[in-house]
Amino acid sequence: MNRIDRLTAILIQLQTKKVVKAQEIADRFEISLRTVYRDVQALMEAGVPIGSEAGKGYFIVDGYHLPPVMFTQDEASAMLLAGKLVEKMGDKSVRQAFDSALQKVKAVLNETEKDHIQNLEPHIEIYLRSRYEHRERDGFPDHFLTEIQRALAKKQVLIIDYCNNKDEVTRREVEPIGIFYYSMAWHLIGWCRLRNDYRDFRSDRIKHLESSSQIFESRNLMSLQEYFNTIFQNNSSLIRVSVLFDKAALGGRPIFGSISQTDLGDTLRVEFMMDNLRHLAHWLLMYGSAVKVESPDELKSVMAELAEEIYGHYSTKQILQS
């Protein structure tokens, strides 16, 4: 349990009895008395009115209580939209966990908000091809993302049976550094002990995964961002692209395949690593003047060429028709 969760739990425990001994808190969370004193002090500094009596324990001043969790309609709507995305972008484990979380959110909504969500739900749909839709039918389990997230947080070595694009299956021990969504699939990035190097494992090609009891040291392992920077530097065929999008033109639609996104207020700076600028340019054209290429200059030239081609195509037709 992280400290934020523990502080919340301690606050709830203090509300269950008139007086709670420090030792009771220490025993419940398996922490030292010194840690209890620090946690209680942190709650007091945050504004929680906690009193104490020597030899007895801590108590909450009369009249204070932890407010119930409440959501606005906009917050509940955002959760509903996120759930639609999870249905397409998450595997079975993530879908089940999010559905459970969403049910808890709906449970605390008042009647007006519940009606709002019920009326809104049929009007939101995500049309996105997902690689996870037929995994179990094809003999691949569909429940790895949650386990991968646990391993990332705990720095545990993962043992996977991985099927490459030649249908060859190898067993790997992987020290995970992150997960990344691109090309319609989640990818596990980590240090592969078999290859003694960093590797990119597409999650829909993992046939079996288990988390070992081994805890790996961070050592000099890269961060996820450092990994992508290295890939860019070592692969001359990849070109780093920076593009500004007018957020109003995006209409809340997510952008997939980027390596970073920076909110600049009315605009969103999105960076990609691409090996085919013309392909990207075709996609960017649909945003018209709502998109601006920052770099590279080569992409700006490709965009201009395509725009001229389109203009020439339609202006020629208009002349012939006239």
- Report which of 175, 166, 164 is spatially closest to residue 197, judged by C-alpha positions: 175
Q: Kindly give the interhelix angle for 297-321 and 277-285, rounded to the nearest 10 degrees.
A: 60
Contact 29, 14 (CB under 8 A): no
Look-up: residue for tokens 């709002």? 116
Q: What is the DSSP letter of 16?
A: T
Domain 145-225 has CATH 2.30.30: yes
- Asked if omega into 296 is within 30° of 0 (cis), the reply is yes
CA 292, chain centre distance (Å): 26
CA separation for the pair 199, 188 (Å, rounded): 8
For 235-317, CATH gives 3.30.70
Residue type, 114: K
CA separation for the pair 177, 200 (Å, rounded): 10
Look-up: residue for tokens 């008395």? 33
- pLDDT given for residue 130 in this prediction: 60
Model pTM? 0.54
For 3-60, CATH gives 1.10.10.10
- Report which of 258, 249, 241, 239 is spatially closest to residue 295, judged by C-alpha positions: 241
Residue type, 287: Y
Q: For the chain of 322 residues, list the mean pLDDT of each consecutive stretch of 10.
A: 84 84 91 93 89 88 67 83 86 86 78 85 77 57 83 93 88 93 82 91 89 82 78 70 92 75 90 85 91 94 91 68 53
Contact 287, 249 (CB under 8 A): yes
